[in-house]
């Protein structure tokens, strides 16, 4: 454990991560063996951030300015790795949209608040600059453009840790040679200014093949774990329970900083259960028989839905808000109670831009070299989940028609 | 945050060009239209080693491809490099036609600017994009 962490490791905001499961509701539904926590992921990401910094420094030893910058920021980079997820609410991704709705803040914003207001400033006496760390986690200033890529980019240490850790804990024997992969990382760009550099990969056959393996595992983890159906439905149901009661003091209080840093999976569920019997029907993890069923699953494509520009802009900007808006409108159209239907628009993941270091030949992306990466195409799927009793009394065709109208008449 | 206008303008630009040759080119073209020609695109650009790049533009292109408004075809160049070319699908062309008059009325220069950009080499558009003013990180670099 690095010296700057020793002095603050017992802080409640940090200890709290021990009682938040990394996979959130998925660990209560589809993967009960996945008992690993946010804390172990934080430690793993921190370790990899340090390792990546060392490797990059040794690789670009001719670029003195960059090496100096990396070495002098090693502790800050490791701290950013450790703190990057501290602002996640319990059941993280199920609560992200709720937190944004109630507080207007993302988990990165919340991380900034915790670092500024909760983490003792004695950490700064150990060489950590809170502002630098915050900017690496949530870059608002492009001065940190390169350093933030170690924490948040297609090749970041966060992804490297969670893919391997999550795969191991859910029982998938997916793996790749992490050390070999890290050795192919490089800094592309102008050696006089780190701000203009980008994190990329060597333009070698070995780097391309290792990265293909990484991309395939990343894609498979989304399809088989992160978006697995029952857990996904349970997460959306939990989100709706919070949204239904978002004006209750008990719920708002969960997202106030002083309460937030004490909250964990269990305390959040206790609060919801305590609100009343109405919330119970949304808590599928307490009774999986309550789990909503799939009423519709269809790709959002022009041949089935004539989408207008407003709909597509909203789809790009905030898919969670759009899904919620359609859920409410669908219940109104079909004259049912709020959230008897839950719309869930899922944008499939495609690898973001990964550059290869072939600067002499011009810009080269992994996509240009890899057939495997090239065939991963973007896809958007509309799903509607419904309470089993409600679904029983409806023809699926009626739901399909209502959704079609809502999408096509969207303003 | 992008708006419906960004989608309509982007479709109009690609429709005017008929085909945009390359992921790099579409980035640099839109950057020039935004910062040099003052077409009000809301895509945020940041400067990096290869010139200005907008992640939100890249994501919007993915949305348009997924929705079948845009196709992405691969061309293998003499160098062996693969290039991604963008064209409107039939549905994209319908959207282009539906908004064409309105865009030409509101942004009379867009069509001629788009057609002119199509005639330039990738090296030329990259240099022009790198010289645009208004991109925060680029402006800071120039100030130094």
Amino acid A193: pLDDT: 72
Helix, strand or coil for residue B117?
A: helix
User: Which two structure tokens, joined as six digits, stand for B35?
Assistant: 């910062």
> How far away is chain A from the Cα of B102, in angstroms, using its nearest Cα?
14
**Range with lowest mean pLDDT among A231-240, A327-336, B128-137:** B128-137
pLDDT in tens, A249-300: 999 999 999 999 999 999 999 999 998 878 888 999 888 899 999 999 999 9
One-character DSSP codes across A297-359: EEE--TTT----HHHHHHHHH-HHHHHHHHHHHHHHHTT--TTSEEEEEEEPP-----EEE-T
Query: Is the model's pLDDT at A63 over the cut of 70?
Result: no
d(Cα A337, Cα A198) in Å, to the nearest integer? 50
Sheet arrangement for strand A341-347: A293-299, A380-386, A341-347
Q: What percent of chain A has pLDDT over 70?
A: 98
Tell me how far CA of residue A24 lies from CA of A51, A134, A286, B141, in angstroms: 27, 24, 14, 43
Pick A317's closest partner by Cβ from B2, B24, B141.
Answer: B2
**Range with lowest mean pLDDT among A368-377, B19-28, B97-106:** A368-377
Amino acid B110: pLDDT: 92
Amino acid A241: pLDDT: 95
d(Cα A97, Cα A92) in Å, to the nearest integer? 10
Q: Crossing angle of helices B23-35/B4-17, nearest 10°?
A: 120
Q: What is the average pLDDT score of chain A?
A: 92
Question: A198 — contact with chain B (CB < 8 Å)?
Answer: yes
Amino acid A341: pLDDT: 96
Spatial contact of A189 and A200, defined as CB atoms under 8 Å apart:
no
Query: Is the model's pLDDT at B144 over the cut of 60?
Result: no
Pick B2's closest partner by Cβ from A189, A306, A313.
Answer: A313
Higher pLDDT, A339 or B141: A339
Q: How many residues does chain A have?
A: 411
CB contacts < 8 Å between A and B, how many?
100
- Beta-carbon separation of A197 and B48 below 8 A: yes
pLDDT in tens, A167-180: 999 999 998 999 99
Q: Which residues pair with B82 in a beta bridge?
A: B76
Query: What mean pLDDT comes out for the span A235-250?
Result: 95
Spatial contact of A9 and A1, defined as CB atoms under 8 Å apart:
yes
Query: What mean pLDDT comes out for the span A338-356?
Result: 91
**Range with lowest mean pLDDT among A13-27, A205-219, A276-290, B126-140:** B126-140
Tokens 């790709």 correspond to what residue?
A299
Beta strands in B19-130 (DSSP E): 20-21, 46-48, 51-53, 70-76, 82-88
Amino acid B133: pLDDT: 86
Query: What mean pLDDT comes out for the span B44-59?
Result: 90
Report the candidate in B46, B56, B38 with the shortest Cα–Cα distance to residue B2.
Answer: B56
Report the candidate in A352, A60, A55, A358 with the shortest Cα–Cα distance to residue A203.
Answer: A358
Chain B residues with CB-CB distance to A364 below 8 A = 81
Q: Which of A312, A371, A373 to mutate to test the interface with B (most CBs of B within 10 A)?
A: A312
pLDDT in tens, A69-109: 888 999 999 999 999 999 999 998 889 999 999 999 999 99
DSSP state of A37: B
Question: Could you tell me which CATH number the domain at B4-143 has?
Answer: 1.10.10
Alpha-carbon dihedral sign for residues B125, B127, B130, B134: negative
Confidence of residue B90 (pLDDT cuts 50, 70, 90): very high
Confidence of residue B142 (pLDDT cuts 50, 70, 90): low
d(Cα B130, Cα A318) in Å, to the nearest integer? 30
Amino acid B16: pLDDT: 95
Amino acid B140: pLDDT: 59
Query: What mean pLDDT comes out for the span A216-226?
Result: 95
Amino acid A93: pLDDT: 80
DSSP state of A21: B
Amino acid A192: pLDDT: 67
Amino acid A195: pLDDT: 74
Pairing status of strand A198-202 against strand A355-357: parallel
Query: Is the model's pLDDT at B68 over the cut of 70?
Result: yes
Chain B residues with CB-CB distance to A315 below 8 A = 63
pTM as predicted = 0.93
Minimum Cα–Cα distance from B56: chain A residue: A316
Query: Is the model's pLDDT at A360 over the cut of 80?
Result: no
Query: What mean pLDDT comes out for the span B2-27?
Result: 95
Query: Is the model's pLDDT at B143 over the cut of 70?
Result: no
Tell me how far CA of residue B19 lies from CA of A154, A190, B26, in angstroms: 28, 32, 10
Pick B137's closest partner by Cβ from A142, A197, A361.
Answer: A142
User: Which two structure tokens, joined as six digits, stand for A189?
Assistant: 């760009």
Q: Which residues pair with A187 in a beta bridge?
A: A199
- Beta-carbon separation of B3 and A313 below 8 A: yes
């Amino acid at each position: 454990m690095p010296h700057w962490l020793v002095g603050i490791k017992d802080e409640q905001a940090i200890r709290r991560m021990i009682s938040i499961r990394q996979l959130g509701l998925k660990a209560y539904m589809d993967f009960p063996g996945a008992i690993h926590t946010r804390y172990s992921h934080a430690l793993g990401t921190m370790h990899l951030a340090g390792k990546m910094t060392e490797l990059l420094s040794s690789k670009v030893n001719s670029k003195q300015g960059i090496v100096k910058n990396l070495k002098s920021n090693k502790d800050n980079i490791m701290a950013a790795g450790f703190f990057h997820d501290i602002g996640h609410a319990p059941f993280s991704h199920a609560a992200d949209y709720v937190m944004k709705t109630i507080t207007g803040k993302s988990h990165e914003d919340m991380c900034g608040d915790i670092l500024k207001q909760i983490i003792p400033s004695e950490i700064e006496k150990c060489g950590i600059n809170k502002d630098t760390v915050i900017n690496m986690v949530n870059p608002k200033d492009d001065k940190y453009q390169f350093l933030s890529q170690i924490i948040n980019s297609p090749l970041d240490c966060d992804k490297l840790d969670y893919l391997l850790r999550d795969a191991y804990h859910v029982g998938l024997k997916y793996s790749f040679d992490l050390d070999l992969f890290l050795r192919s990382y490089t800094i592309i760009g102008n050696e006089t200014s780190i701000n203009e550099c980008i994190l990329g990969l060597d333009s070698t056959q070995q780097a391309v093949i290792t990265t293909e393996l990484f991309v395939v595992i990343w894609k498979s983890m989304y399809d088989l774990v992160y978006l697995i159906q029952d857990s996904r439905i349970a997460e959306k149901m939990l989100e709706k329970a919070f949204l239904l009661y978002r004006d209750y003091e008990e719920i708002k209080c969960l997202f106030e900083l002083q309460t937030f840093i004490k909250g964990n999976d269990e305390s959040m569920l206790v609060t919801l259960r305590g609100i009343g019997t109405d919330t119970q029907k949304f808590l599928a993890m307490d009774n999986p028989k309550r789990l909503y069923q799939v009423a519709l699953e269809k790709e959002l494509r022009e041949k089935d839905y004539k989408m207008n520009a407003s709909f597509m802009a909203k789809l790009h900007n905030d898919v969670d808000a759009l899904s919620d808006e359609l859920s409410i409108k669908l219940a109104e159209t079909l004259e049912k109670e709020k959230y008897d239907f839950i719309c869930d628009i899922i944008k499939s993941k495609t690898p973001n831009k990964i550059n290869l270091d072939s600067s002499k030949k011009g810009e080269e992306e992994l996509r240009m070299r890899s057939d495997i990466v090239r065939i991963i195409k973007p896809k958007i799927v509309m799903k509607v989940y419904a309470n089993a009793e409600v679904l029983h009394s409806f023809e699926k065709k009626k739901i399909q028609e209502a959704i079609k109208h809502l999408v096509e008449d969207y303003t | 945050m992008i708006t419906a206008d960004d989608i309509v303008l982007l479709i109009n630009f690609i429709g005017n060009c008929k085909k945009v040759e390359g992921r790099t080119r579409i980035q640099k073209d839109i950057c020039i239209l935004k910062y040099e020609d003052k077409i009000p695109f809301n895509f945020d650009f940041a400067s990096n080693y290869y010139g200005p790049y907008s992640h939100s533009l890249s994501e919007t292109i993915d949305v348009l491809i997924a929705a079948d408004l845009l196709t992405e075809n691969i061309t293998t160049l003499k160098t062996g490099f693969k290039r991604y070319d963008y064209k409107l699908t039939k549905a994209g062309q319908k959207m282009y036609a539906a908004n064409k008059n309105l865009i030409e009325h509101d942004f009379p220069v867009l069509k001629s600017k788009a057609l002119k950009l199509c005639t330039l080499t990738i090296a030329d558009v990259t240099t022009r994009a790198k010289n645009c003013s208004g991109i925060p990180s680029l402006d800071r670099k120039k100030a130094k």
